[in-house]
Amino acid sequence: MSNNSPLPIPAILSPCVGICRLDARGYCEGCYRTGDEIARWRSMSDAERSHYMDAVLPAREPA
């Protein structure tokens, strides 16, 4: 007997890497989120989290 239902899409996890200090710009030195973004992360939609992971946070990484 086969199950043809699609597999659930996993939730987007936090980008936290355990280095939790804000730099002079107000970005976390580990994940590059602001304090507000860190606080809101759990209430963000998957689409918003995905946007942060794919575009916003990589753009903040030091060159």
From first to last of the 63 residues of the chain, give the pLDDT tens digit: 556 777 776 777 899 999 999 999 999 999 999 999 999 999 999 999 999 999 999 999 987
Quickly tell me which residue has 């606080």 as its tokens.
39
The structure tokens listed for 7 are 């597999």
pTM (predicted TM-score): 0.79
Question: How confident is the model at residue 1, as a pLDDT?
Answer: 53
63 close to 48: Cβ distance less than 8 angstroms: no
**Maximum distance among all alpha carbons in the chain?**
58
Q: Which helix (H) or strand (E) holds 37?
A: helix 35-40
State the distance between the two ends of the chain, measured CA to CA, in whole angstroms: 53
